[in-house]
Structure 1
Amino acid sequence: MNMTTRVSRLRGDRVTLAHGGGGRAMRDLIEEVFTDVFRPPGREDQARLTSEALQEAGAQLAFTTDGYVVTPVEFPGGDIGKLAVCGTVNDLAVGGARPLWLSASFIIEEGCEIALLRRIAATMAAEAEAAGVRIVTGDTKVVEKGGCDTLFVTTSGVGAIPPGRDIAAVNIRPGDVAIVNGVLGDHGATILAARGDLALSTPIESDCAALGHLMEDVIAAAPGMRAARDLTRGGLASALNEMAAEAGVTVELSDEALPIRPEVRGMCEILGLDPLYLANEGRAVLFVPEAQAEAALAAMRARPEGEGAAVVGRAVTAGRIPVVTKTAFGGTRIVDMLVGEQLPRIC
């Protein structure tokens, strides 16, 4: 029986503590808002799963988990549910895994609108289907008013790394080219504007997107891909510092090559922020051998989530500084690891 034919058993339009008490009210909330939408296999306390992808000799299991506490929970270009699905899919995909299954845990504040939960669950189901994964198990808790900020979501993901695939930062070599799949900083700028604290108005939307299909296309086109990272908190700068340290190389960027919208640059100039540290939720940096860079770019640009792909730099023999960028004036500046966080509650 689907939601169009069943009369809702939920009473009221907001979550109460009774919805977390383990009784009928909780069952009704979980079934009508989540399981009717996600349609997990079975109703046991665990998901029982099999996949041919894990049966291949030499295949590896990839497992990741992440929590999402973004405020506001809905913003231009997405919501906390889309972030949770895309973020976990991307954590698997950049390691070369083919994402298979997700879990989803919800911490809901008393008074949260049930209509909001329905919208977020619908977004999660749609994003999971588009990414080729299933949400197969989860949990729901309700806390008293003030116990959290509307809604927190934690997702875990399982994927399969095919035999022989080795994508890791330690594989980066001098001469490898660094490529990003689109403009940088849109998510961080969107969340900052959506909060309304600074009376900023901007048409920018979050870049939130799942990158599993893009990664598979790039790996097929550039099978020598060395490494990849998704650019979340700390942005491109922090990701590159981590990768350079693991690989024992220096990464040289070019300011003029960095794809950043004028609106994002302008916002950063007004607020004293550096766009290289702004969070992204649908962007990754990939290192490929120079001979395969054009093929990787073409594969990215063939997909909507990679239309703005660009070469931003390259790895060179390790120097004293892990990441530097060449400025438009011919000088060089250090791109250090972010200390603290430019913006809190960004994802």
Structure 2
Amino acid sequence: MLPGINTAKDGGIMHNQEELILLGHGSGGRLSHDLIKNIMVSAFANPLLAELHDGARFSIDGTKLAFTTDSYVVKPRFFPGGDIGKLAVCGTVNDLAMCGARPLYLSAGLILEEGLPIAELKKIVESMRATAQVAGVAIVTGDTKVVERGAVDGIYINTAGIGAILPQADVTASRVKPGQEVIVSGYLGDHAIAVMSERHGLTLPSKIISDCAPLNGLIQELLTEVPAISMLRDPTRGGLATTLNEIAADAGVGIVLEESSLPVRPEVSAVCELLGFEPLYLANEGKVVVFVEKKYSEKVLKIMHQHQVSAAARIIGTVSDKAAGQVALRTMVGGLRLLDMLSGEQLPRIC
């Protein structure tokens, strides 16, 4: 019997006696979406929250600011290409960048488990310091709590950040229109596969490492040189397919991806085929999806190709005026396959 399901029947239908939080509620997919919409948004409803961007955007005395927060519970804490500290800084810096902001200041809240080695904590904190330096932000406030052994998995980190929105930036789903092109900054699924391999002790090709990286330098150059960019989003939990479903629904448009154009490493595809994963639903931590008018696409790609974090950028699809709110994949043989939002959890505790 499943948890929360009783055996009482009414007309042959079993009823849920008590709804419970599942791992899938943290996937970034449909369960997460429903949880946020039905509980969080309804409870905290306000105009700033209603936009459901990567952060809140607002003005104070004429200064446009962005504010965001995120919590990191990745398992294991260290993985090829990064660790929970680097992830925490990059994640919040990137969320501010996706709002069109120049990240300025971060906070860091640490929940530590009794028994965590001090040497490991120092290594994580040093990783946060070094990543913040690369991103050009300062960690200016924070909090630390210690809980009894077994209450958390070593360390959980919450980071919040504030940034100044660039004067020329106006990135919002309402500006996504039919005819625009969809660009992704590089290979998909590397982060999820890197974390999974470390978690389960798998031996994978050395080139599969997390893409975890701060993107604010790239984004600031893009928005300065191509202010016509209409939307930015980093496809983290739930992957590219879930992120595009959210944008399609918010913008009231359809999105068609070209399977032949999707950048997925052969090694990642091989692991996905072996284990039954879909690369389009795997988490990324150093990628950005850009929506822009077709006439600006080549300029966006030229800028991206000059940055190491986006050297493999390419156009992967277009925005359509048909099938509003849906995302489709044009397969190698020319057919269309619907890409729905992630409904469960492929890999828990990825970020």
TM-score, scaled to structure 2: 0.81
**Conserved 8 A contact 1:82-1:123:** yes
Residue matched to 1:162: 166
What is the match of residue 266 of structure 1? 270
Q: Structure 2 residue aligned with 1:308, among 306, 309, 312?
A: 312
SS in 1 for 2:70: strand
Counting aligned pairs with the same residue, the percent is: 51
Unaligned runs of 5+ in 2: 1-57
Q: Work out whether residues 212 and 284 of structure 2, in 8 Å CA contact, stay in contact via their aligned partners in 1.
A: yes
Summarize the Cα distance change of 1:74–1:218 in structure 2 as closer, same or farther, 3 Å threshold: same
Residue 253, structure 1, aligned to residue 257, structure 2: yes
> In the alignment, is the contact (CA less than 8 A) between 2:245 and 2:325 conserved in 1?
no
Alignment of 1:117-266 (within 5 A): 117-196=121-200, 199-203=202-206, 204-266=208-270
Give the distance between the partners of 2:169 and 2:287, measured in 1 at CA. 21
Report the alpha carbon displacement of residue 163 of structure 1 after superposing the two structures with TM: 3.3
Q: Structure 1 residues 223 and 108, CA, compared in 2 at 3 Å: closer, same or farther?
A: same
* 1:291 alignment partner, one of 286, 291, 295: 295
User: 1:219, CA displacement in angstroms?
Assistant: 1.2
Q: Select 1:106's aligned residue among 104, 110, 126.
A: 110
For the 8 Å contact 2:70–2:160, the answer to whether it is kept is: yes
The answer to whether the aligner puts 1:95 opposite 2:99 as a matched pair is yes
Runs of 5+ unmatched residues, structure 1: 1-53
* Letter matched to residue 327 of structure 1: T
1:277 matched to 2:272? The reply is no
User: What is the CA distance between 1:341 and its match in structure 2?
Assistant: 1.4
Q: For 2:233 and 2:173, how far apart are their aligned partners in 1?
A: 8
Query: Residues 56 and 163 of structure 1 are in contact (CA less than 8 Å); yes or no, is this contact kept in structure 2?
Result: no
What is the distance in 2 between the residues matched to 1:270 and 1:196? 14
Cα 1:58/1:316, change in 2 over 3 Å: farther
C-alpha displacement at 1:61, in angstroms?
1.5
C-alpha RMSD of matched pairs (Å): 1.6
Q: Deviations over 1:44-79 (max 9, x none)?
A: xxxxxxxxxx99974311110000000000001000
SS in 2 for 1:269: helix
Separation (CA, whole Å) in 2 of partners of 1:320 and 1:108:
45
Taking a change above 3 Å as real, the CA distance of residues 162 and 220 of structure 1, as seen in their structure-2 partners, is closer
Q: Tell me by how many angstroms 1:202 deviates.
A: 3.5
Q: Distance in 2 between matches of 1:178 and 1:191?
A: 27
TM-score (norm 1): 0.82
Helix, strand or coil for the counterpart of 1:228?
strand
Conserved? CA contact 1:58–1:164, under 8 Å: no
Which of the numbers 286, 311, 331 marks the counterpart of 1:327?
331
The count of corresponding residues between Structure 1 and Structure 2 is 293
> Which residue of the other structure, out of 63, 67, 73, is the alignment partner of 1:69?
73
